Amino acid sequence: MKVKGVIDSLNFSSNHLEDYFESDDYIIEPIKGIGVFKPNRWLEVYNKPLTRNIIEAKLLHTSMGLVLPIKRYSTKKDKQVLEFAGLNRYDEISIYKRELLHSLMGLIQDDIINRIDIAIDFKKIPERVLRELKKNRQPFKWVNSTYYKTESETKKNYHINILIYPKHKKDNLDYDVERLEFSFGGAYLRGKHPIRDIHSLEQRIVKTIRRFTGLKVEIQPL
């Protein structure tokens, strides 16, 4: 079965990330760092607390009204990570995020991909896809999402997370959309894929998704 997939999230790291945003179109708001700690502000924006492994956190504000997180982790203190989440939601915010990402492409070619999420939307997830997932994983329901986890998998999985959720409820659509999402983390990526090699990474991802689901996925350009 051939289907279309989209990149819904893309996180990448750089040791000079803030240099990309020195124009008047951007404001960087410090949240956590030397001499500053505003956890309630982070909670207000993202509805979840800062984790201990984040040693520096900032909010990137754009002239289009976007707010994106910039983080520095204790495991890689020399690099900042910029997170583009929700690149393919059903709203204008996604369009603005993709436009911003496109405008940065000439600058970030050597930056390293830390996470990439591939989403595949259906009116209803085919039963044969669910059967394939259940061959090696068990469904685990949490709020409105169903995660497919191996027996040995813990709550945190830095390799591959697989989940299904009603996208129409999250984006307030008046028609049904179920989203199958694969989140590929640091253990899968192993710090080996710069942005300029994203297409070769996609080829590897397509093979992985087919192995788990039987689906032949064609990932759409950003």
pLDDT digits (tens, 9 = 90+) for 117-139: 999 999 999 999 999 999 999 99
In the DSSP assignment, the letter for residue 190 is T
d(CA 185, CA 162): 11
Query: Token pair of 145, please?
Result: 């999402």
The candidate with the shortest Cα–Cα distance to 83, out of 101, 109, 105, 96, is 101
What pTM did the predictor assign?
0.95
Residues 6+ apart with CB under 8 A from 45: 59, 67
Mean pLDDT of 196-202: 97
Quick check: helix, strand or coil at residue 45? Answer: helix
7-16 as b/e, with b when 16 or more CB fall inside 10 Å?
A: bbbbbbbbee
d(CA 135, CA 126): 15
Amino acid at 65: G
Average pLDDT across the chain, whole number: 96
